[in-house]
Structure 1
Amino acid sequence: MLALLTLLAAPAAPAATLVTPSGDAVPENLLRIGLHLDAPLSAALDMVRVTLFDDNGAVIEHAFLDLPLASADGKSVTLLLDPGRIKTGVGPNVALGPALRAGQGVRLRVDDPQLGHAVEKRWRVESSLRSRIEPQHWTVRLAKRGSRQALRIGFPTALDGDAAPLLALQGPDGRRLAGSARLADGEREWRFTPASAWRPGTYLLRIHPRLEDPQGNRLCSAFEQAGQSAQQCGEEGRREFIIE
């Protein structure tokens, strides 16, 4: 009976609810993969149980750094692909080549027992994305005044899976607009639903300097830009729009 009670009281395994990038394709220079969990892990993710396979089912060796990064609340874990294999001309890139190769397919498998079940995700690999993030290339799909429709901001390429809180709206009164935000469409769209109906006026989308895409490209620089690692992005991005 005691064993049964202990079993019933055991917390549910923190199964991964989402792997990002969640779309069907990733660029050859993908740097980060995110596991988004229902609950924090009890210990660091075991990177021995994290594997990338190619189209033929062969293991892609030395693809990851042995450095899983947990978020502050423990409910997301970032897997880092070896940046030395991504940056052109760096030793591992020259010796081993990139872990991902455009035109091929890859399969991620994570079978750490802490997850409760194996997690898998497949992608096709496309050409590298080596440009900084350009908010002026984003599209804005306006909501109707007087409604609580979601405002939709579209991106040419996916953002990081944890990027939703790094965008905020300033209303016509100059204050931050209350509401809920989430990423959709393979992290290629930001959807914001206001707490109250949209009012007419000028709105400002404010973009935190820490915003990145899964390749490590930022607002102020691309991942492969000379001196990027030492460069501090200090200025936020902005996009203004009007609801009439």
Structure 2
Amino acid sequence: MISTSTPVALKAILNWRASALLLALPLISSAATLVTPSGPAVPENLLRIVLHLDAPLKAPLEMRHVLLSDADGVPIDGAFLDLPLAGRDGKSLTLLLHPGRIKTGVGPNLKVGPALHAGQSVVLRIDDPQLGRMVEKRWQVQPPLRQAITPQQWTLQAVKRGSRTPLRVVFPTALDADAAPLLALQGPGGTRVAGTARLAAGETEWRFTPAQAWRAGSYVLRVHPQLEDPQGNRLCSAFEQAGQSAQQCDDEGRREFIID
């Protein structure tokens, strides 16, 4: 059984056209494996979409191959920055939605408004021949999420001492796809609990399987200051907050619980 207590102290796309492009793609092995956020819905202020690859692309992704459209196939103009960012190993590509359209009260937001609107359905399509197939992902757009990440809002599911049942930490909204190693468990005696961690349920759950059976005692879920969600919200500030990009998050998040 788990009981929680007060904490101690304490990281940004037409149907007929898609079919035609799909037929035109060469039959090579697919490099694309997953698009995140992988769940069915995203907030209106979504900042980052990440394409996860089996292997690095041989040439940079060109944004002319990326289309974001509404449910009727109408393109959403100017949704992205023309700046796809490759991960260090080349096996991920981050597509940045225009941040100036996301932050309320700034020039692009005032002039053309946000790219996404709560209540609409949107479709991302990527037809780069390097991927071997059309990549497509659909989302329902929900109201914006403009608040810092708050571990006290997370739900910890009960585990029993003596078992190796995975600890499930459920978030109210999805975190970045690379968030799993940014959470760690401190066990009784203050040492780190060995085990394996992964995200699940559209990046809304952290599941940790201990290497050894759970022991009774006090535990602390420790959250790295670099943790972000796909909207750019962090532990220390929301993306919407003025000057947040220059603010450095130094303090970790903490969540205490007890296994009886």
Using the size of structure 1 for normalisation, the TM-score is 0.92
> Which residue of the partner structure matches residue 91 of structure 1?
107
Shift of 1:13: 4.2
1:130-155 CA distances to partner (integer Å, 9 max, x unpaired)? 01111001010122211111100011
Q: Which residues of structure 1 form unaligned runs of 5+?
A: 1-11
> Which residue of the partner structure matches residue 8 of structure 1?
none
Which amino acid in structure 1 is aligned with residue 96 of structure 2?
L
Shift of 1:54: 0.8
> Which residue of the partner structure matches residue 5 of structure 1?
none
Among 51, 54, 73, the alignment partner of 2:89 is 73
> Which residue of the partner structure matches residue 247 of structure 2?
231
CA contact (8 A) 1:211 1:218 kept: yes
Within 5 Å, give how 1:116-155 maps onto structure 2.
116-155=132-171
Shift of 1:14: 5.3
Q: Distance in 1 between the 2:158 and 2:91 partners?
A: 32
CA contact (8 A) 1:15 1:38 kept: yes
CA contact (8 A) 2:30 2:133 kept: no
Which amino acid in structure 1 is aligned with residue 31 of structure 2?
A
Which amino acid in structure 1 is aligned with residue 120 of structure 2?
Q
Runs (4+) of structure 1 exceeding 3 A deviation are none
Which amino acid in structure 1 is aligned with residue 254 of structure 2?
R
Counterpart of 1:26 in 2: which secondary structure?
Answer: strand
Q: Which has the higher contact order (CA 8 A, sep 6+)?
A: 2
CA contact (8 A) 1:16 1:38 kept: yes
Cα RMSD (Å):
1.3
| Aligned residue pair count | 233
Counterpart of 2:110 in 1: which secondary structure?
Answer: helix
> Which residue of the partner structure matches residue 114 of structure 1?
130
Within 5 Å, give how 1:1-244 maps onto structure 2.
13=29, 15-244=31-260
The 3 A distance-change label for structure 1 pair 54 and 191 is: same
Q: Distance in 2 between the 1:213 and 1:238 partners?
A: 17
Shift of 1:41: 2.0
Using the size of structure 2 for normalisation, the TM-score is 0.86
Query: Identity across aligned pairs (percent)?
Result: 73
